[in-house]
Each structure stands twice: as structure tokens, then as C-alpha cells.
Amino acid sequence: MAFKLETFIPYLMTLSGAKVSEAFAQVYGGQLTNPQWRIVCHLAQVEDGLTSKQLCVKAMLDKSTASRAINELEQLDWLSVSACDKDKRAKQVRLSEQGRLQFDALIPKALGWQQELLAGFTEQEKALLVDLLRRLELRAADIKKAHQ
């Protein structure tokens, strides 16, 4: 089997991911950076907030990038940050009321953008795409564990 970059899955995933993220940034552009958007999205999914460490894992951000994004979002009044009840050294991060309102205002734009992105796909193809991406993610995690 010959190596062909144009069919190498890690390359295709990186390329398409970068292009999709760059194009999608127009939805929240001017308001947030990509790391900030990822943090806000994860916080919007939970009631009780997350620790900084949990946000790093969930949003797939390194500690310094996450810390900078959290600090910037706190300055914008999108987040509230407090000491964690269980571990006073950890920071508990939550969406503020302002952050929730801003996020809720962006969601229709985000969903509209996704609809435009997938406009040429059938409903079956959309479901298949999501399924395949989830399966790739799980398989990559399994392979990573097996090689540790």
C-alpha cells in the first residue's frame, strides 16, 4: 500500500477540522476566540460548572490556553470563577447570567451555519457522518490506550 497524503485520514481530519473551525469562527468572530467558544460550549452543557482541569480535558486545551481563555471570559463577564467546594486549590468555572444570554443568542446562528455547511447532504448522510466521526474518536482513544 502506497502512502498518499490526500487519502491519509489524520491529514484529512486535520485539514477539514481546521477549515471548518476557521469558517465557523465567523459565527462568534469578534466576540470570542476558538478556545473561548469551546469553553463556553462545555459550560453551557452543565448546571454546576466545571473545574479548570475538567475544562482542559473536555475542550482539549492545554492548561495555559484554557487559563488565558477563562481569564478573558471572566473579564468579559461571561464566566464566574470561584474556589471549588471540594478542593479549595481548584477553580470552579460557571457561565454567568451574561454568558448564558450571549451563548443562547449565538446558538441559532451556530445551528444555521451548520445547516448551511451540510446543505448538500441527505439526512442519512448527516447521521452517517456524525456516527463515523464518533466511531473514529472512540477508536483513536482505544488505540491510544493500547499503546500506552
pLDDT above 70 as % of the chain: 100
In this model, does residue 88 exceed pLDDT 80? no
pLDDT at 69: 97
Which H/E stretch holds residue 61? none
Q: b/e for 132-148, b at 16 or more Cβ within 10 A?
A: eeeeeeeeeeeeeeeee
pLDDT at 79: 97
pLDDT tier for residue 142 given thresholds of 50, 70 and 90 = very high
